[in-house]
Every structure is written in structure tokens, then in C-alpha cells.
């Protein structure tokens, strides 16, 4: 601005002879002629920063986006060469804009399907509740799903202590279906406790934790939770407290229902033949009308001989199904990753939300420093006071923090 002002006041030409036809001076101020507006007052960098801060977060500031902010300053009659660039920098580094920014719902990492190598080798474990209190003061349910056969086990509980969950795993999984290779759980205290870890170590079961506030990490059991709750809702009507009595019926319905991923029912995947369901007693089917003990034993033996082939084919169908789901999911991914030393904001969850702020509370909290990469898309964090968070967090709940 100085060379132009010198030319207009003293007639001194700038060294590079830059065009000045659209610049005018008035009372020791420079004005630029706009295309759709009156004259625009030319400002220095320092004056421009003050204007941007005042319009963005001053008394009448609305914390608008960079383009809207630049347009508003322009319409007010101000100009400097880096107006839009400075507005973009200011909005990007505004602490309140980052804390109260919208939460993206587009995936940031490609999908990583979990596939079990053999039946009952890998289970997903989760809790449902609290629900209406039923007989025996039960209001919770622990649920487990096998990744291979889609077999589901569940039990109603009055309390969800580590001892109760350990008893469920020992009785409903280990006693009935064998000791599994691995179990995937959430980060609740029932699962992440010294007693539970000792139980897994003694049986040499690999224990994997899903990322906090990211149930998609254990999506198989989360999907089964929805199915169980939907069945119970439809069966109970108004008698919600009777859900513990209806839970076995819901499990039976799931175990004998066709699963799209495998093309088989969980019962047939587990035992090699289809179960006889109650409707075949009320209205006899071909297999119940023509039942003969000797012929049935021979057919069951043949089914067991062919079971491995059926399981192999179901596993291939399951793999193909997961690949189709992955292709659809990955087509929507907008990659977002961080490096060690970056500062990020973490999405506010129910556990960290301040109840006194209600809907006016921030959407993000922090900042936190990235101190480690657990695996692709999962990071270990440390707050500004130097305290390391106990569990790694998924990239879905993080965004870059601009200082």
C-alpha cells in the first residue's frame, strides 16, 4: 500500500510500475474501486486482523465460515489482498469453532472385517440394559455371538459384575461349546478387570477390546443386540417386565433363522441339520410325518460327514458378503489420519458430557496429543496436563486441532 500512496500524494512511481488505475486516495486513506460495491477502504494486515476478529467473534459475531466471513467483511467496505486467506486461517484456528463444530458422519478409515477361522473360535461379548426390572430383579442381559456360525448365547442378570460375566462365559460358552480362541468385548469394568483378565489368562483366551465409544469395532454382537431387543419389543407388548421369560424364545428364533451372510441357519451350522420348530408340531411337515428312527440316524450321520463341506461353503459366502459390505463402506471413506505429536479434539460422549450444559454443550473436547498408534485408525492420547488416557481411541471420534 505504501508505494501506491507515495505515487498518489507525491507523484513517485513504484519501482515495478504496477497498475494503479483502480486505486484512489482520499484524506490520507486509500480506496479500491469494486465491481459490485462502492469504494473499498484498503487496510493494513494488522487492521485486517482486527476487523476479522471483531466480525467473527465480536459483539455481533456469528462464528461463520471463512467464505461467509470474507464476504461479510467485503460487503462492509474493507479490502486487503489476503482477505479470504486470512479469514480461512482465523476460522480454522478459532477454539470455539473447533469445540462446537459439527460431528462428521462419513467414515475416515476403510472397513476391517473380522473373520473367524473355525466354529466357536471367536466370540463377541456385550451387555444389554438397563431394561424394565423382571422376575428376580433382573434388568440386564449379557449376550455373546460366534463370528463363524452366528450362534447366539444370552443370559438375564440382576447385576453386571465381573464375577457374573465370568460365570456366563464359563457356563454358556466354555462348558457347552469349548474354550474359544479369542473374545472381543467393550471397555466396561466388567470386562476390563483384574479378575476377568486372570480368568482369560488361566484359560489362554485372547482378550481384545473395542475402541471406547466405538461399538462398530464389535459390530457382530452390536447387530445381534438390535435383533434381540427388536424381538423382545414385538413379543412383550405392554408387559415389559416379562422379558427374561421371553429371552429363550428370542434366542431360539434367532438360532433357527436364515442368515444372509452364511446362507444357513446358526443351528444347522452348529449341528449339521435343521431343528424341528414348534410349527412342525401344530402342522406336521414332511420330516416329522415320515420320521423313522433308523433312517433318521443314517441321515444325521451323513449330514455330519458333509458338515465340514457345508461350513466351508458357508464361510466362502460369509467372506463374499463381507467383501460386498466393505466395498460399499469404503466407497464413502474420506481418509483422516494423524501422526505422533499431532494435537486432536475428541468427540464428547455420554460418559464425558457435562449434564448441566444440556444441548448447549460443546461437541468436542480437548485438545489431546497423539502419543502412539495402536493400529491403523486407532490412537493413544495424552491430555494437555500430561495424563495418558487408559484406552486407545478410534479416528471416527477425533479431528485435527489447529492451534
Mean pLDDT of the chain: 83
Instruction: Give the per-residue pLDDT at 62.
Output: 83
Q: Taking residues 7-26, what's their average pLDDT? A: 58
Beta-carbon-side half-sphere exposure of residue 239 (alpha carbons within 13 Å) = 8
* Residue 353 CB partners (closer than 8 Å, separation 6+): 361
Q: Provide the β-strand partners of residue 375.
A: 378
The share of the chain scoring above pLDDT 70, in percent, equals 91
DSSP sequence for 171-201: IIIIHHH---SEEEE-S-TTTSSHHHHHHHH
pLDDT tens for 145-156 read 998 888 999 999
Instruction: Give the per-residue pLDDT at 194.
Output: 82
pLDDT-derived band at 42 (thresholds 50, 70, 90) equals confident
pLDDT-derived band at 218 (thresholds 50, 70, 90) equals low
pLDDT tens for 106-129 read 888 887 777 777 888 888 888 887
Q: Taking residues 54-60, what's their average pLDDT? A: 86
Give yes or no for residue 22 having a pLDDT over 60.
Answer: no
- Is the pTM value of this prediction over 0.85? no
CA 348, 351, 353, 356: dihedral to nearest 10 degrees? 180
Instruction: Give the per-residue pLDDT at 49.
Output: 92
pLDDT tens for 131-147 read 888 888 888 888 999 98
Give yes or no for residue 214 having a pLDDT over 70.
Answer: no
The closest of 370, 367, 372 to 403, measured between CA atoms, is 367
Q: Are β-strands 398-400 and 378-383 bridged in parallel, bridged antiparallel, or unpaired?
A: unpaired
What is the layout of strands, in order, in the sheet containing 182-185? 152-157, 140-146, 122-128, 182-185, 206-209
Q: Of the segments 28-32, 81-85, 109-113, 333-337, which one has the largest average pLDDT value?
A: 81-85
The closest of 368, 374, 377, 378 to 341, measured between CA atoms, is 368
* Residue 222 CB partners (closer than 8 Å, separation 6+): 124, 126, 215, 216
Q: Taking residues 270-284, what's their average pLDDT? A: 82
Amino acid at each position: 500500500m505504501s508505494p501506491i500512496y507515495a505515487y498518489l500524494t507525491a507523484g513517485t512511481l513504484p519501482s515495478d510500475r504496477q497498475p494503479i488505475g483502480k486505486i484512489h486516495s482520499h484524506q490520507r486513506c486509500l480506496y479500491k474501486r469494486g465491481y459490485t460495491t462502492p469504494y473499498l477502504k484498503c487496510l493494513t494486515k494488522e487492521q485486517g486482523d482486527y476487523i476479522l476478529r471483531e466480525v467473527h467473534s465480536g459483539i455481533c459475531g456469528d462464528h461463520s465460515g471463512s467464505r461467509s466471513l470474507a464476504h461479510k467483511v467485503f460487503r462492509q467496505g474493507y479490502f486487503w489482498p489476503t482477505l479470504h486467506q486470512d479469514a480461512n486461517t482465523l476460522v480454522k484456528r478459532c477454539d470455539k469453532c473447533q469445540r462446537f463444530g459439527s460431528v462428521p458422519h462419513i467414515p475416515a478409515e476403510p472397513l476391517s472385517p473380522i473373520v473367524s477361522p473355525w466354529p466357536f473360535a471367536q466370540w463377541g461379548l456385550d451387555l444389554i440394559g438397563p431394561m424394565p426390572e423382571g422376575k428376580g430383579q433382573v434388568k440386564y442381559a449379557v449376550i455373546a455371538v460366534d463370528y463363524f456360525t452366528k450362534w447366539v448365547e444370552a443370559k438375564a442378570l440382576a447385576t453386571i459384575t465381573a464375577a457374573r460375566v465370568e460365570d456366563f462365559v464359563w457356563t454358556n460358552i466354555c462348558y457347552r461349546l469349548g474354550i474359544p480362541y479369542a473374545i472381543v468385548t467393550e471397555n466396561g469394568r466388567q470386562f476390563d478387570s483384574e479378575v476377568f483378565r486372570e480368568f482369560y489368562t488361566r484359560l489362554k483366551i485372547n482378550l481384545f477390546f473395542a475402541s471406547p465409544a466405538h461399538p462398530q469395532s464389535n459390530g457382530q454382537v452390536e447387530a445381534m443386540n438390535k435383533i434381540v431387543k427388536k424381538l423382545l419389543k414385538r413379543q412383550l407388548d405392554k408387559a415389559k417386565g416379562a422379558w427374561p421369560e421371553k429371552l429363550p424364545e428370542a434366542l431360539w428364533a434367532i438360532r433357527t433363522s436364515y442368515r444372509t451372510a452364511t446362507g444357513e441357519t446358526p443351528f444347522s451350522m452348529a449341528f449339521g441339520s435343521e431343528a424341528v420348530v414348534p410349527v412342525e408340531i401344530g402342522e406336521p411337515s414332511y420330516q416329522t410325518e415320515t420320521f423313522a428312527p433308523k433312517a433318521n440316524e443314517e441321515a444325521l450321520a451323513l449330514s455330519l460327514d458333509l458338515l465340514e463341506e457345508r461350513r466351508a461353503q458357508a464361510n466362502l459366502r460369509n467372506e463374499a458378503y463381507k467383501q460386498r459390505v466393505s466395498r460399499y463402506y469404503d466407497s464413502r471413506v474420506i481418509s483422516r489420519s494423524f501422526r505422533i505429536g499431532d494435537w486432536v479434539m475428541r468427540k464428547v460422549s455420554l460418559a464425558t458430557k457435562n449434564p448441566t450444559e444440556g444441548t448447549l454443550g460443546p461437541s468436542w473436547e480437548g485438545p489431546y496429543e497423539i502419543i502412539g498408534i495402536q493400529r491403523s485408525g486407532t490412537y493413544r492420547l495424552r491430555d494437555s496436563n500430561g495424563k495418558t488416557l487408559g484406552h486407545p481411541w478410534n479416528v471416527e471420534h477425533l479431528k485435527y486441532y489447529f492451534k
